[in-house]
Structure 1
């Protein structure tokens, strides 16, 4: 589980984002990494109770967790480390095209949810086609009370077009969502919430409410993905 020392390490890393400090504090990083690994392992177990795709695959937590090292080759910001820990759980793998569930852990800025963030063009086209063809089903899913109770801002876009995408009319009933470049939900958690013993369960309950949307998106993607 996440402990105060996990958050303290990340806060100190943000204030001392350099290789010398990191190496001197590597044992603290290893403990924070172990705490996060255990949390994601529990998260996957909870997801498997309501998402059949996750249950079939039961991904290795290690494969779901992003490296803490930043790729600075094309960035003006040369700080070597990320200041948060991130995991993405999907039946298609962290680097695959499918929708899934995620957790970002960072002091004062932790959040989680599910969906499909900034998919490649071909995947986005498939999801748009499904939303347009099955809009009544999609609208029922994204306007469900349980989803909105857990994610009051509802489904969010990872960017959006100002006009209708090619092949669709502005008069299309689904046009609001067809302009989206991705579909995800996000809920922020305070440090106090993250440190509770039942945090992973709370996160899992939130993700259960977004599972129908994840399943809808994946059905659209898998219908065309070999």
Structure 2
């Protein structure tokens, strides 16, 4: 029987803290069981719970709950980086279209580390062609866009992140439109400590509720028609 998400645990933080100090294969192999039980298993369960909703938000999303698909691999690709540490000290779920690379995508994410959990929707980093597409969809429906991001739940739950241009790309428009359109990339992020609030099924419900809340904005930014997604 597939296990439903029941939360993380203090051992989740312990694993990542230990790996940060001993980032080598020997340490990981000796603590692999802890990784599988306290990090990977909860992420798999969360990914399974979220998958039906994510497929409704965007049928093109990769939702298979395995590493290398919806779940990131703990092992890093160090071929083209100066940092040769073999393992990540965080792990995440990522919902994106397979045609888009991680660094050049618009999608949803959930991240867990030794100190925090975070989740949200947006772009991973600067990628001009995608941001131009996003900007175009915002400018096609500025009133609808503004109504979504002005919602009290949006303001309460998420922080807008993303590097701004030194010189504005757009000089005329509403405050929210200008704030988004004058960035190199944009993402809405909710962040909280990895504490007792993350050690129960309530965390999974909060993530699901927030992803459903973000769905209309995601579809607008993609130029997709609106749909109703039930909890």
Superposed counterparts of 1:18-167, under 5 Å:
18-31=24-37, 32-47=39-54, 51-54=56-59, 59-62=63-66, 63-90=69-96, 92-93=97-98, 95=101, 99-118=106-125, 120-151=127-158, 153=159, 155-157=160-162, 159-165=163-169
Q: 1:68 Cα deviation (Å)? A: 0.9
What is the DSSP-based 3-state SS (H/G/I as helix, E as strand, rest coil) of the residue aligned with 1:185?
strand
Q: Which runs of 5+ in 1 are unaligned?
A: 221-226
Q: C-alpha distance in 1, partners of 2:217/2:61?
A: 19
Q: C-alpha distance in 1, partners of 2:125/2:62?
A: 24
What do you get for the CA RMSD once the two structures are aligned?
2.4
Residues 41 and 7 of structure 1: is their aligned pair in 2 closer, same or farther, counting only changes over 3 Å? farther
Q: Does 1:181 align with 2:184?
A: yes
Residue of structure 2 equivalent to 1:11: 17
Q: 1:60 Cα deviation (Å)? A: 0.9
Q: C-alpha distance in 2, partners of 1:75/1:52?
A: 34
TM-score (norm 2): 0.79
Q: 1:58 Cα deviation (Å)? A: 7.3
What is the DSSP-based 3-state SS (H/G/I as helix, E as strand, rest coil) of the residue aligned with 1:113?
strand
What is the DSSP-based 3-state SS (H/G/I as helix, E as strand, rest coil) of the residue aligned with 2:76?
coil
TM-score (norm 1): 0.81
Task: Kindly report structure 1 stretches of 4+ aligned residues shifted beyond 4 Å.
Answer: none
Q: C-alpha distance in 2, partners of 1:178/1:17?
A: 40
